[in-house]
Structure 1
């Protein structure tokens, strides 16, 4: 009698025992809790990621990023760079005017924030029927120069980079007329740039000053009133060397470059130039505003290409008419630079 309740319950217990494993296999299993990552390790990973971001941003060299406008970056210590910087200047008032000027440059960074370079420039002139200029189709070695660039403020960690460039020049042509001459000049550029959007958009501003002294080769005659005449003129009572001319140019430019795809930047720049007689701005001669597109492409880790084309959109000569200054400046200025790093 006592066993009858047990016998009744036993089949039910056996059925539950058979069903339970099958149900258990279908149920979702909770994964064991992960051990909490130490706070120090997480912070180290964050710092590492931040350093990688900064390193990626610092790999973008802004020196040649903006066309004619210079960026503030200076190479790493021990870095050697060779480049071919070709510029073209086209268009004056009337006739045909063109100057093609390739420059061979060797730049070395001996110490942090400091770079030195040696340049040799070759000019070729095509001038025909331009008022006040002789017809020419000639060229040759035009100029030797050296450049020193020092970066006062680095863009990382500072948001703005600041670099001063000084370039003394010794040349053998009048750069405007193509006439043989002895030319000495000094160009100073203060470059400021910043990352407007990290790794994507960069901007730069340049302040420039260039002073030059040009003495054309040859002699002139002077009459009794000390007016210039041809040396072979019978009225000439004295013969002297052609006098030197002194000019100075002030400029400001602004540029922006956007990384459209990896290693390819497209942008634009605007440059405003004012030219004066004398090294101390003795007399105003003319002004011009140039605007144009820029392109920078990093072909490989050691090779890059920079290009720009600027067009004069406004200007005025001191004694000229019209809305452009084609007496002191060109209508078009173009640049193509190939850079190799070692």
Structure 2
């Protein structure tokens, strides 16, 4: 009698035990717990993300490096972005001639605009100051003023990024009011052409540039000369002068090649060096050689901010010779020292 309740419940318990496994097969099962990722793998992933971020920042910083003023007197190939406006003050100094004291300070105000991709135009006004004392064949002078107006067109045939090299041609017609060597009042017309090639030897760090230059000029002094009966040139106030005529125009041409490197020592600070070799001729046909000179010196470029930068250079003549003078330097056609300081602002 005591077992009757148990016997009544036993069939129900057996039926539930048989139904439960069958129903459980149709229910969704919880996935097994995911093993924890090792700490080492997480650290490698974090390091990889940091490297990718630094690589992207490096590519961006390289594309923002403007090489036009990176190499001192040597020009880089970069041209501004379309619509970019740039203003600059370029101060240069030329020192040293054959004996005496020779100093020329020049300040150029420039506005450059980029109307289209790879094309820029610039307008320049240059003011010179001459201080010449006891230099053979040169008159003593302490004068200055507006010395030159010019315009410059730059076209970039090959863009350095993505190409490994950049190539740009610059043409600059000039109208001057002084003889650049003597400081004498004159009417001067000239054309300067520069072919610039540069590349990144080490991305973001080391850059190099090469320039080929040609300059042709015509100078007519604002003075007069006298002619005697044999049509020989004499002083206008000489009693033998039978005629007084304007001084004849002089024509000269200069060709050169330069090379420079610039290394980013710390972010936004580049130090480097350049060398340029110049040959001067009387006339525009390269037939009468006047002299040659080799200049070498350091360069500096500082990017103060995203819009403001500073470029500086100092070159010294270390070798050369004038065709009409003895010595191992050409101090008749070229200066002993050349210095440059340029402040650039972009808008």
Shorter chain as normaliser: what TM range? 0.7 to 0.9
- Report Cα offsets for 1:165-208 as digits up to 9, x if no partner: 00000000000000000000000000000000000000000000
Q: 2:64 aligns with which of 59, 63, 67?
A: 59
Distance 2:223 2:338 in 1: 30
Q: CA offset at residue 50 of structure 1?
A: 6.4
| Counterpart for residue 135 of structure 2 | 130
Q: CA offset at residue 52 of structure 1?
A: 4.9
Q: What does 1:51-130 correspond to in 2, within 5 Å?
A: 52-130=57-135
Matched positions, count:
306
Q: What does 1:1-342 correspond to in 2, within 5 Å?
A: 30-31=35-36, 52-342=57-347
| Counterpart for residue 22 of structure 1 | none
- Report Cα offsets for 1:238-271 as digits up to 9, x if no partner: 2211000000000000000000000000000000
| Counterpart for residue 18 of structure 1 | none
Relative to the length of structure 2, the TM-score reads: 0.85
Q: CA offset at residue 48 of structure 1?
A: 8.8
Distance 2:167 2:183 in 1: 35
Q: CA offset at residue 280 of structure 1?
A: 1.5
The 1:331/1:46 distance shift into structure 2, 3 A limit, reads closer
Distance 2:59 2:156 in 1: 19
Distance 1:291 1:298 in 2: 24
Distance 1:54 1:158 in 2: 14
Distance 1:245 1:295 in 2: 36
Helix, strand or coil: the match of 2:61? helix
Q: What's the C-alpha RMSD, in Å, of the aligned pairs?
A: 2.0
Distance 2:340 2:63 in 1: 25
Q: CA offset at residue 56 of structure 1?
A: 2.0
Helix, strand or coil: the match of 2:182? coil
List alignment gaps of at least 5 residues for structure 1. Answer: 1-28, 34-44
List alignment gaps of at least 5 residues for structure 2. Answer: 1-33, 39-49
Structure whose CA Rg is larger: 2
Q: CA offset at residue 155 of structure 1?
A: 0.4
Distance 1:32 1:167 in 2: 65
Distance 1:237 1:60 in 2: 64
- Report Cα offsets for 1:5-24 as digits up to 9, x if no partner: xxxxxxxxxxxxxxxxxxxx
Relative to the length of structure 1, the TM-score reads: 0.86
Q: CA offset at residue 159 of structure 1?
A: 0.4
Q: CA offset at residue 233 of structure 1?
A: 2.0
| Counterpart for residue 29 of structure 2 | none
| Counterpart for residue 7 of structure 1 | none
Distance 2:251 2:172 in 1: 17
